Structure 1
Amino acid sequence: MKEYKVISWKMGLSKNNERLEETLNQHAMSGWKVVHISENSARIVLERDKNR
């Protein structure tokens, strides 16, 4: 079984790419993987196995 998480991302004025990368890496360490990023990067959908 899978579980999903949606992250709402707000674009910042500086270091946006670095902040996004850090956020995604933190979630990846918890077993999450990105399955979709909206065109304007406002929402990111993550997925992982629920029974891991």
Structure 2
Amino acid sequence: MKEYKVEKWKMGLNKNGERLEATLNEFAKQGWQVIHIAENSATVVFERNKNR
């Protein structure tokens, strides 16, 4: 079974790429994988196996 997480990305004026990379790496350590990034709404959708 899969579980999903939806995160709103808070855009800032400085170091957006670095902050996004750090955030994605932190979620990856918890087993999450990005399945969709919506640019217009700055939303990132993650997925992982629930029974891990």
User: TM-score normalized by structure 2?
Assistant: 0.94
Show the 5 A alignment for 1:2-41. Answer: 2-40=2-40
Consecutive aligned runs of 4 or more in structure 1 exceeding 6 Å deviation: none
| Structure 2: tracts of 5 or more residues without a match | none
* In structure 2, C-alpha distance between the alignment counterparts of 1:14 and 1:25, rounded to whole Å: 19
Return the offset for 1:41.
Answer: 5.7
Distance 1:26 1:32 in 2: 9
The count of aligned residue pairs is: 52
Gaps of 5+ in 1: none
Tell me the TM-score normalised to structure 1 length: 0.94
Q: Root-mean-square deviation (CA), in Å? A: 1.0
Q: Aligned partners of 1:17, 1:41: CA distance in 2, in Å?
A: 16
Identity of aligned residues (%): 69
